[in-house]
Amino acid sequence: MADVISPQPSRETDRSAERLKRIRDGLSSRHAREKRFRAYGLAAIGAALAFVAILFVMILSKGLPAFTQATMTLDVFFDPAIIKVEPKPVPQQGQSPAEFRRATLDWERQVTMVNWNRVVETAIKNAAPDMEVDTRQALSIVETNERFLLRDRFVADPGLLGKTIPVDMLGSANADNWLKGNIDRSLPDAQQQLSAPARALADKLLEEGKMRFAFASHIFTNVDSRSAPASAGLAGAFVGSLYMMLVVIVLAVPIGVASAVYLEEFAPKNRLTDLIEVNINNLAAVPSIVFGLLGAAVFINYFRLPLSAPLVGGLVLTLMTLPTIIIATRSALRAVPPSLRQAALGLGASRTQTVFHHVLPVTFPGILTATIIGVAQALGETAPLLLIGMNAFVAAVPATPLDQSTALPVQIYLWQGNENRNFFEARTSAAIIVLLGLMITLNAIAIFLRTRLERRS
Amino acid sequence: MNKDTVMEPNAMQLPSERIVERSDLYSIKSSTVRTPDETPLPTRVKAREVSVFYGAKQALFDVSIDVPERAVTAFIGPSGCGKSTFLRCLNRMNDTIEGCRVTGRIELDGADVYDPQLDVVELRARVGMVFQKPNPFPKSIFENVAYGPRIHGLARNKTELEEIVVGSLKKASLFEEVKDRLHEPGTGLSGGQQQRLCIARAIAVSPEVILMDEPCSALDPIATAKIEELIDELRANYTIVIVTHSMQQAARVSQRTAFFHLGILVEEGPTETIFTGPREKRTQDYITGRFG
Amino acid sequence: MNSAIVAVLLLVLMGLAYQIGWSRSHGVAPTGGRLHSRPNYHGALTAIWALVPALLVFGLWALFGDTASRAFIISNLPPEVSSLGGQELEGAIRRIRQIASGFGVVGETQPYENLAGQALREFQTFSFALVIAAAAGLGALALFAARRRIAPQLRARNEVERVVFFLLLACSAVAILTTVGIVASLLTEAIRFFTFVSPVDFFFGTVWNPRFSSVGAGSGEYGLLPLLWGTLMVATIAMLVALPIGLMTAIYLSQYAPAKVRNTVKPVVEILAGIPTIVYGFFALVTVGPFLAGIGQSLGLQIRATSAMTAGIVMGIMIIPFISSLSDDILRQVPRAMRDGSLGLGATQSETIKRVILPAALPGIVGAFLLAVSRAIGETMIVVLAAGNSPYLRLNLGEAVSTVTVTIVNQLTGDTDFASPQSLVAFALGLTLFAMTLVLNVVALYIVRRYREQYE
């Protein structure tokens, strides 16, 4: 017993006891409130994490199956009875390149007039000789553009005439849906997209191993297609996005870094600087669609740049990401200890020398992060691109940044709006996986480089 | 009055009948050099072999001390010596620092402060604290002082609350200066006034012990003098522990002084003894300004 | 080929000028004395001098070269062809350009075409040579002028630095030009719109029915209010979702969570911020919409799959990380002393948060909130996909709505002729949107800035 009973006036002791009693009375409800509050916090975090989880599970579960697609391998006979064309022209003496081109085009036109559907149909019927299907039914399980691919093969190699070769052909979107079970199999004929014999044919081919689910590499190599949805791919959109990212990197990064350097290291404290600062902070919060309006009014309507061109998209995205890059670079510059600048200035280096020789090299990881944040933001942006015509349907890989093109997020927008919902929901999710994959890769590269660079310095 | 001839605790003469039981402080193994009071006061807070770790780093080594009631105990020592760390153990403010671990035993009126059953809310209501920098809440002067009574439900009604607030402001000798602007923000006061507001805020909960962590380090000499005067007045009703880096302040306001160095409680005793005849060389060096 | 020659010329000129400036400055360096600027600055300055005139020449050529060659072709055409207008003249010019390039044209060529093609070819070779010569000559002249200036006391470094300074300033000006561009383009096009429709009808009209531009300019009603109403409805729902979840997440992460939890949860929540909005739109359309409709059905309520509620909730999810990371920053700026003061009085952590930390952080949180609202009303893709697009003034959250942003997209995609009120209205809407977000942003940024200064 080390306690010491102190002689206190009893009135004071009473008051003290009363006070303690009051405190103790409130304790349990106060602790209950504390627990509840903490639980709200946990619940909020749980909700936020759950949203992330649901989003990813939904995208992955819908999108991953789209990376494999019903594909059949058929023996295709290039039947001279069907393919009746002249020999392919060769360049002749005294012919101008333009004339040769014209002769070639004429020949190709002839090839196109061939009934390639017959070729495809024969190949399908030969694969399942005991099935009773008519022409339409047989052709409904194969993607419509396969006949053009056969034609292109023939154009490239006219020597195929009279030969039989195995050819991989994509199943049609409807066949793919049916075989993957995306459509309720018990629905009556009237609600099925494929006729009963066609469904049976598809099932039989799958059973016999002539049809299988193969990795859908064409998602990466093909361009968008409306008539042949199963063969639609992201190549055009990907290259379009790539051009835009190049424009952003070439323009936004140097301009952004230069502005940040100016504001952080050189700008005198005056009205103009204040104005630029407020302006940049505000621009960072301007809705992206407003930049789209700017692009439509200035680049398209005033400068008459072409609609749907990645160059214009890149310019709009440059203006949009510029504030992000400036703000991120500035905070990187601000993190450089003033002692470094003072040391350099103290040795007689000029302001410019200090910045370019000492400050910027140190901030390189920060600038890299800023760049990637900006590029990732630009990569995922959709709304402004819709206003400069990038939502046009383009079935070609753009050769230059001035050609018509779409972009990855716009392609997602276009695909989600496709009428063939059953098929394109998965396709859209697959495109989203590709887009998110790109963004995650970008960020991972940034984190990797930053840690390496920071460790080195 | 000076007891520096007494080296062996057991041989110590107890000059007063008021001590019911002799403190066990002198029987524990410790490197601390101790000088008891001539007329020892009852102990309010008792610490035994308290060590504090921040992660793997030990900041305090086996500190044992008794804090007497209704007196001012000063902790002095160079910065980083662990005096503030120890002070913050007394009302478990160290709990709020991630990775901080306390071992040993601290008792308030015989009850273990670090007992898991003990409610830290109640403990802090009984052991109040005033911080280094005045930290009034961004509320009115009135609301600042009323904060504690409100959260603890100390006032039954508005009149009672007003009584407590006015009483606390008076005890903190601030009332006269602010009585016309009780509903203006507390952050609008001068530094010294802000610190007195913080003291009033602590008093409003009627704690038994008040811990002060360098309360004057951010203040000018005049404000400091006022606070010191106030501490002296408060001594009549409260047990006060003050951490200070100013030896003059310790000498002016405290009755007992403890000198910390490198996480060790080097010497403790009546303030006069510590400042006029320290028995440890390190204490001597410190108070004469050899290091600090 | 031509651009490669230009690039090589510029590179050679630059390298040569740098080298000459560098060695010349070495040459003039007084023995024992020193140059004002190091030789590499002299080199850089000489290079700048040499490049600027060359670049000017190429710039002029890029701007007017095409016009010149066109004028040359027309002057070489027989009068009966050059007097043709429009498409036929363009066709003739194209043919001649093809002949000149050596690719040839399809069909018989007219003798005048061959002549003109031949002439054009010579003209092109000649003009290109002339441009190259002019650029090289002027560059060389400037180079030698710069070389003559080199002297020990020449402040080459200062001059180079001044050039760098103005380049940096010019880059910063891009941001201002962007704002000017936005305001100017929105204003001019909106004013053109207001020549068709009176501002009163636009800003206070309660019916939105612009019809199609083929019907004509005069028909159609352009009332802003239904769109504004939809925008506010969706934004309100979004904030009702995002504010509690975002703020509580920030509070928990900044006040309760140990560092380990914080360092894992925070990046995961911020993943939500990096997801493109089109993905949220798809999520709303495919998952959230049907889910809400299902819930509505089981409760006996009519909730459409694409509705204000669907768009609002998903937009709220999108904004959670925005609010949580902004609030987290702000809460962490509240001084620790404030928190300790309250805990030291015996307040529980939640009492400290509710009564001290939140009030102290309130201005900052209000700023974050306003920024989030500005984001919500400017968000486009989620509402395009999930709000349903039906511009009526009604309160039912389960019904489809339309917003300002959706309408901008609808009116400006497809045929844009910039002459009909149907597409011009997009700019009036854009102006409204810009004005609203501008006010919100400026107020919010001001509050946040003041808040930061308070605790710095």
Q: Does C201 map to a domain?
A: no
Question: What would the two tokens of residue C178 be?
Answer: 């962007």
- Identify the domain containing residue A260 by its residue range: 235-456
Sequence-ordered alpha helix ranges (H) in B23-181: 83-90, 120-126, 141-152, 158-171, 175-178
- A86 and A187: one domain? yes
Q: Are residues C135 and C243 in the same domain?
A: no
Which chains form contacts with chain B, at 3 or more CB pairs under 8 Å? A, C
B177 interfaces chain A, CB cutoff of 8 Å? no
pLDDT digits (tens, 9 = 90+) for A109-127: 888 888 899 999 999 988 8
Please indicate, yes or no, if residue A27 is contained in any of the structural domains: no
Domain count, chain C: 2
Tell me if C71 is assigned to some domain: yes
List the structure tokens of C145: 């002028």
Buried residues in A263-290 as b, exposed as e (16+ CB within 10 A)? bbbbbeeeeeeeebbbbbbbbbbbbbbb
Is the pLDDT at C144 greater than 90? The verdict is no
Which residues in B lie closer than 8 A to residue C358 (C-beta atoms)? none
Whether residue A373 lies inside any domain: the answer is yes
Q: Is residue C202 a part of any domain in this protein?
A: no
Instruction: Specify whether C141 is located in the same domain as C267.
Output: no
3-state secondary structure of A72: strand
Helix, strand, coil fractions of chain C, as percent rounded to 5: 80, 0, 20
A258 and A115: one domain?
A: no
The answer to the question of residue A30 being in a domain is no
Q: Over 50: is that where the pLDDT of A189 sits? A: yes
Please check whether residue A151 is in contact with residue A111, taking contact to mean a CB–CB distance below 8 angstroms.
yes
pLDDT tens profile C66-100 = 788 888 888 888 877 777 777 777 777 888 888 87
Same-domain pairing of C145 and C234? no
Q: Say if C347 falls within a structural domain.
A: yes
pLDDT at B14: 40
Structure confidence at residue A275 as a pLDDT band (50, 70, 90):
confident
Are C306 and C438 found together in one domain? Answer: yes
Residue by residue, what is the 3-state secondary structure of A127-174?
A: HCCCCCCCHHHHHHCECCCHHHHHHHHHHHCHHHCCCEEEEEEEECHH
Spatial distance between the Cα atoms of A406 and A385, rounded to a whole number of angstroms: 9
Whether C117 is in a domain gets the answer yes
Q: Does C360 touch chain B (CB under 8 A)?
A: yes
What's at C111, amino acid-wise? Answer: P
For A234-248, what is the mean pLDDT? Answer: 93
- Give the containing element (helix H, strand E) for B104: strand B100-108
Q: A116 and A263 in one domain?
A: no
Q: How many domains does chain A have?
A: 2
Domain boundary among C150, C185, C215: C150
Whether residues C233 and C146 fall in one domain: no
pLDDT per residue over B87-116, tens digit each? 999 999 988 888 899 999 999 988 899 988
Give the span between the Cα atoms of B113 and B47, in whole angstroms: 10
Q: What is the pLDDT of residues A48-80, one digit of tens each?
A: 999 999 999 999 999 999 999 999 998 999 988
Q: Among A160-169, C26-35, C39-48, which stretch is predicted with the lowest mean pLDDT?
A: C26-35
Same-domain check for residues C124 and C237: no
Q: Which of A13, A20, A23 to probe the B interface (max B CBs under 10 A)?
A: A23
Q: Please indicate if any CB of chain C lies within 8 Å of the CB of B215.
A: no
Fill in the DSSP letter of residue C288: I
DSSP A94: T
Give how far Cα B54 sits from Cα of B21, B95, C341, Å.
36, 11, 21
Domain boundary, last residue among A167, A184, A216:
A216
Q: How far apart are CA C16 and CA C6, in angstroms?
A: 15
End-to-end CA separation in angstroms for chain C: 59
Whether A248 is covered by a domain: the verdict is yes
The dihedral over CA atoms of C431, C434, C435, C437, expressed in degrees to the nearest 10, equals: 160
**Do residues A211 and A240 share a domain?**
no
What ipTM score was computed for the predicted complex, to two decimals? 0.88
- The last residue of one of the domains, among C108, C131, C150, is C150
User: Count of CB atoms within 10 A of residue C217's CB?
Assistant: 15
A354, A435: one domain: yes
- Is residue A76 within a helix (H) or strand (E), and if so which, with residue range? strand A68-77
At residue C303, the pLDDT reads: 85
- Using CA atoms, how far residue C85 sits from C76, C91, C95, C110, in Å, is 16, 10, 15, 19
Predicted TM-score of the model (pTM): 0.84
* B8 — pLDDT class (breaks 50, 70, 90): very low
* Residues A113 and A261 reside in one and the same domain: no
DSSP secondary-structure letter at C345?
A: T
Residue A277 has pLDDT above 90, yes or no: no
Residues C246 and C343 in one domain: yes
On whether both A185 and A242 belong to a single domain, the answer is no
pLDDT confidence bin for B209, thresholds 50/70/90:
very high
Q: Within this chain, do residues A127 and A155 fall inside the same structural domain, yes or no? A: yes
Q: How far apart are CA C95 and CA A40, in angstroms?
A: 75
Which chain C residues have a beta carbon less than 8 Å from that of B137? Answer: 338, 341-342, 355-356, 359-360
Q: Which amino acid is at B52?
A: V
C120/C233 same-domain check: no
- CATH number of the domain at C325, please: 1.10.3720.10
The C-alpha atoms of residue B144 and residue B150 are separated, in whole angstroms, by 10
* A290 and A432 assigned to the same domain: yes
Yes or no, beta carbons of A19 and B206 under 8 Å apart? yes
Q: Are B97 and B45 in contact (CB under 8 A)?
A: no
Which pLDDT score, from 0 to 100, does residue A99 have?
A: 84
Answer whether residue C312 is part of any domain. Answer: yes
Q: Which of C130, C150, C170 is the last residue of a domain?
A: C150
pLDDT at B184 over 80: yes
A296 near C CB under 8 A: yes
> Does C185 contact A350 at a Cβ distance shorter than 8 Å?
no
Decide if B21 touches A, using CB distance below 8 A. Answer: yes
**Long-range residue pairs from C299-303, CB within 8 A, at least 24 positions apart, any chain:** C301/C398, C302/C396, C302/C398, C302/C399, C303/C397, C303/C398
DSSP letter for B37, please. Answer: -
Q: CB-based contact (8 Å) between A15 and chain C?
A: no
- Give me the mean pLDDT over the B177-189 stretch: 91
Burial of B31 (0-12, 13-18, 19+ CB in 10 A): exposed
Q: What is the mean pLDDT of residues A363-372?
A: 87
Looking at the structure, tell me whether residues A299 and A411 fall in a common domain: yes
Identify the band that residue A239 occupies on the pLDDT scale cut at 50, 70 and 90.
Answer: very high
In contact, B97 and C257? CB cutoff 8 Å: no
Bridge partners (DSSP) listed for residue B101: B53
> Is A285 a domain residue?
yes
Out of A296, A380, A428, closest to residue C412 by CB: A296
Domain final residue pick, A183, A216, A249: A216
Residue C198 lies in a domain: no
Q: Select from C340, C351, C355 the Cβ nearest to the Cβ of B96.
A: C340
Whether residue A60 lies inside any domain: the answer is no
A378 and A256 fall within a common domain:
yes
Indicate the residue among A157, A184, A216 that finishes a domain: A216
Indicate the pLDDT class of residue A1, thresholds 50, 70 and 90.
very low
pLDDT score recorded for residue B145: 95
Query: Could you tell me where the DSSP H helices lie in A285-359?
Result: 288-294, 310-334, 338-346, 351-353
Provide the token pair at A57. Answer: 């599970």
A386 touches chain C (CB under 8 A): yes
* Position A319 pLDDT exceeds 80: yes
Tell whether the model's pLDDT for residue A145 goes beyond 60: yes
pLDDT above 90 for A94: no
The answer to whether residue B119 neighbours chain A at the CB level (below 8 Å) is: yes
DSSP A359: I
Mean pLDDT of all residues in A143-162: 89
Q: What is the pLDDT of residue C89?
A: 79
Dist. CA C112–CA C68, nearest whole Å: 20
Cβ contact, residue pair B122, A26, below 8 Å: no
Cross-chain Cβ contact B43/A19 below 8 Å: no
Looking at the fold, whether C299 and C447 belong to one and the same domain comes out as: yes
The answer to whether position A8 is within a domain reads no
CB neighbour class for B6 (10 Å; exposed up to 12, middle 13-18, buried from 19): middle
User: Which CATH number goes with the domain that contains A393?
Assistant: 1.10.3720.10
Say yes or no for a CB contact (<8 Å) between C360 and B137. yes
Helix (H) or strand (E) holding B59: strand B57-68
Question: Please, are residues A139 and A121 in contact by the beta-carbon 8 Å criterion?
Answer: yes
Residues in chain C within 8 Å Cβ distance of B121: 346-348
In this structure, the answer to whether residues A212 and A352 fall within a common structural domain is no
Distance CA C436, CA C33 (A): 64
What is the Cα–Cα distance from C162 to C158, expressed in whole angstroms?
6
pLDDT recorded at residue B86:
94
pLDDT in tens, A389-410: 888 888 888 888 888 899 999 9
DSSP H stretches of helix in A190-309: 196-207, 218-221, 235-261, 271-284, 288-294
- Do C88 and C235 sit in the same domain of this protein? no
Count CB pairs under 8 A between chains A and B: 50
User: Considering the domain boundaries, does residue C199 fall inside one?
Assistant: no
Per-residue pLDDT for B254 more than 90?
yes
Closest of B203, B207, B206, B225 to residue B215, by C-alpha:
B225
Task: Give residue C439's domain range.
Answer: 228-451
**Same-domain status, C121 and C266:** no
pLDDT of A272 over the 90 cut = no
| Token digits of residue B60 | 């305090």
Strand order of the β-sheet with B57-68 is B57-68, B43-54, B100-108, B111-112
Query: Would you say residue A161 lies in a domain?
Result: yes
Nearest to A289 among C251, C279, C378 (CB): C378
Average pLDDT, chain B: 87
Non-local CB neighbours of B97 within 8 Å, separated by 6+ positions: B54
Q: Are residues A341 and A367 in contact, defined by beta-carbon separation less than 8 angstroms?
A: no
Using CB atoms, list chains with 3+ pairs below 8 Å to chain C.
A, B
